[in-house]
Chains A and B, each alone.
Chain A
Amino acid sequence: MGRSLQYGVEEAVVGFCRFVRSHGLSAGITETLNALRAVEAIGIAGGIKDRQIVKAALRAVLCSSKAEWDQFEDLFEAFWNSRALQSQSPNQKERPERKQLQRESVQAMSPAWSTGEGLKDGSGKAVFGATVHERLKQTDFSDVSDRDLAELERIALRLLRQMSLRLSRRLKTAKLGNKVDLRRTLRLSISRGGEPIYLGFRHRKLQQQKLVILLDISGSMNPYSLFLARFAYALEKYFRRVDTFVFSTRLTDITAALRTPYLRDALQALSQESAGWSGGTKIGESLREFNSRSGRLLSRNTLFIILSDGWDTGEPKLLATELGAIKRRVRKVVWLNPLLGMEGYEPLTRGMSAALPHVDVFASAHNLESLLALERHLG
């Protein structure tokens, strides 16, 4: 190829591809080669003088959505005017006290992470009656005392198991519903002299869902996130795939950590892996990171769950755009906000109100009962 292109042009196109890649467009080797072919094709046509045509050609090859299309405009101008584009990512200044906070909150979480290790031999076991169960089911996760925690976890596991059994049964019955498959019927009839004695049937294919969960782990959200992580883990068997992420100022994939066979170890690993257990939340940016890095997980069979109180220190507009992009790709967006369990709470924070138009189900997940009520939205 390159032969017919001038060396300078070729170099510039490759440079441009690299430039747009660094700004988030997916310009890999294939796209770069396509870009070169495209420029070559129009170059032969009538001299590569018309800037608008070069722009149109490169844009067609390098963009694949409206968002990228819009972004391209600036990138193109910036590159060919060789004007330095101002840095896209706002400087991530770490607050000095952040590390300190982080350590504290990990410590605060530690009784939870050790899943009742120290409590098992204590008085916490088997003395709870049904009413206690009921009470615990309705206790806000953040109010659960250390003593109750082990018991609550035991109940939670049992109930989650019941729930996932129910879920799998439901999926199986939905599989019924046959249609006669003419093609197979005919095939079968040939050996019977053309009499369709045996009917072939076609089953409706079971569409198994995928689940993507994003957990907010900034300060106040910790206890809730812990239980939802457990919830995600319990559900893993019943979905085609479950991907779990935690976020505060940045996004971490914890799916692998949850997949280790022993839950306690898994959670231990989780606490080590998680980057920031405190500090402000940048929901919009975390979602953007998710979209650009893991957007391929989203499809029409995906259920997207996000757990957060909506206290976003970032730009609400970004949150709305990114969540909107997610919403277009998935089957359902579920936003869990534990604050919804508080009396008189209204979702008025800037982040929350920016997000709500893009949310299908807005529910609370502040106690075990409300967590289990989610079953309804999983089918």
Chain B
Amino acid sequence: MAPPTLPPGKAINNIGEVILGFEQLGYITDSALATVVYLALKLGKPLLLEGHAGLGKTEVAKTLAAFVGTKLIRLQCYEGLDANAAVYEWNYQKQLLAIKAADGSKQSVAEKEKHIFSRDFLMERPLLQAIQAPEVSPVLLLDEVDRADEAFEAFLLELLSDFQISIPELGTIKAKHPPLVVLTSNRSRELSDALKRRCLYHWIEYPNREKEMKIVSARLPGIGAELERQVVSFVQSVRRLNLVKSPGVAETLDWAQALMALGKATLDVSAAEETLGCLAKSMDDIAKIKSAGIENIIAEAG
């Protein structure tokens, strides 16, 4: 597997550069994740990110694209996703019109066929776009790949090993500049072993207190130090309550933003109660937090 082509003048020589570059773009990372990103760049292997929702898996791909200075091509996977939606589709309406327009002409059937199955009539979907990049490797984000069907996964496997796609009417298209592939999965099901083996694997954990504080400061520069500390501590405690859906970093940021919008400088019980919906997304979880006692959690947070 060839390493991806980076924009001219852009070379990444060590892991420190990745950490720093990501941080400048507002993504706080640690050395483990930076190492994996660095390896993906150097070895040209796809990067598989797993972890709970709201911990910035998708954000890694976006930041990576910005960091490298290349285009991000995103494919959101869902059940029933097929090659037509992911790779290419012919523009049928345009083809029909072209056939009608060529009605009186002396073109032979073979010529007509060649005409309407030319590139002008091809609609490129994300995967085809990704391997046709003209100069620089793009970042290809395959989001929530666990939701796609097994058949699609098998197709991906083929794509990820050769970076080529065959279109019966046009022939095989091979990538000149293999894309940097990032796959994310929420583990709604286990991916096939073959696919996983092709990838570098990284499990994204909930951040610890210090890291989460850094993330909040980076994302919400206007937040007061006191509120930030209280919010992060509160969320850290809530994660220990074994909720059905523990709040991710995305929820922390939402919540902090909500409190800021309400003009709170510190966290108090009533404010927390009013905005709890930002943090816990189900009746059961909200009840669980309430029964643990919001004032206790705040007190514990100090």
Residues of A within 8 A of B (CB): 26, 30-31, 34, 37-38, 41-42, 45-46, 50, 52-53, 55-57, 59-61, 63-66, 69, 182-183, 186, 189-191, 193-194, 196, 295-296, 298-301, 325, 328-329
In terms of DSSP, what is the predominant structure of the interface of chain A? helix
Contacts of A186 in B (CB 8 A): 90, 92, 95-96, 99, 116
Answer whether residue B15 sits at the interface, using C-beta atoms and an 8 A cutoff: yes
Structural contact, A60 and B39, CB atoms closer than 8 A: yes
Complex contact B90–A183 (CB within 8 A):
yes
- Judged by a CB distance under 8 angstroms, whether B13 is at the interface is yes
Contacts of A56 in B (CB 8 A): 31-33, 35-36
Interface residues as binary, B237-254 with A (CB distance below 8 Å gives 1, 0 otherwise): 000000000000000000
**Residue of B38, B39, B109, B203 touching A66 (CB-CB under 8 A):** B203
Chain B positions within 8 Å of A, measured between CB atoms, are: 13-16, 31-33, 35-36, 38-39, 42-43, 45, 48, 50, 90, 92, 95-96, 99-100, 102-103, 109, 112-113, 116, 149-150, 187, 189-190, 192-193, 196-197, 199-203
Q: Indicate the member of A50, A60, A299 with the most B CB atoms within 10 Å.
A: A60
CA distance A66 to B203 in the complex (A): 7
Alpha-carbon separation in the docked complex, A299 to B191 (Å): 9
Q: List, in ascending order, chain A residues with CB within 8 A of B201's CB.
A: 59-61, 63-65, 69
User: Does A69 lie within 8 Å of B103, measured CB to CB?
Assistant: no
Contact A189 B92 (CB under 8 A): no
Chain B residues near A63 (CB, 8 Å)?
A: 201, 203
Cα A190 to Cα B109 with chains together (Å): 7
Q: Which of A31, A42, A45, A59: most chain B Cβ within 10 A?
A: A45
Known: A26-B193, A31-B197, A329-B190. A52 touches B32 (CB 8 A): yes
Q: Is there an interface contact between B39 and A301, defined as CB atoms closer than 8 Å?
A: no
A8 to B268, CA, bound (A): 58
Pair A57/B35 contact, Cβ less than 8 Å = yes
Instruction: Please name the residue on chain B nearest to A50 by beta carbon.
Output: B31
CA distance A26 to B35 in the complex (A): 21
Task: Name the CB-closest residue of B to A66.
Answer: B203
Q: B203's contact among A37, A53, A69, A194, by CB below 8 Å, is which?
A: A69
Q: Which residues of A contact B102 (CB under 8 A)?
A: 194
Q: Closest B residue to A295 by CB, please name it.
A: B193
15 A–B contact pairs at CB < 8 A? A30-B197, A42-B35, A46-B16, A53-B35, A56-B32, A57-B35, A64-B201, A65-B196, A186-B90, A186-B92, A186-B96, A296-B193, A300-B149, A328-B190, A329-B189
A65-B190, A190-B113, A295-B193 known; A53-B90 Cβ under 8 A? no
Q: How far is the CA of A26 from the CA of B194 in the complex (A)?
A: 11
A21 to B35, CA, bound (A): 23
Rounded to whole angstroms, the CA-CA distance of A300 and B152 in the bound complex is: 13
Residues in chain B near residue A189, CB distance under 8 A: 96, 99
Docked Cα-Cα span, A190 to B96, in Å, equals 9
A199 vs chain B, min Cβ distance (A):
13
State whether A61 and B200 are in contact (beta carbons under 8 Å apart), knowing that A53-B15, A194-B99, A299-B150 are contacts in the complex.
yes
A65–B90 Cα gap in the complex (Å)? 38
Q: Which residue of B lies closest to A205 (CB)?
A: B151
Q: Which residue of A lies closest to B149 (CB)?
A: A300
Closest to A185 in B: B92
User: Assuming A53-B15, A60-B201, A186-B92, is B189 touching A300 (CB within 8 A)?
Assistant: yes
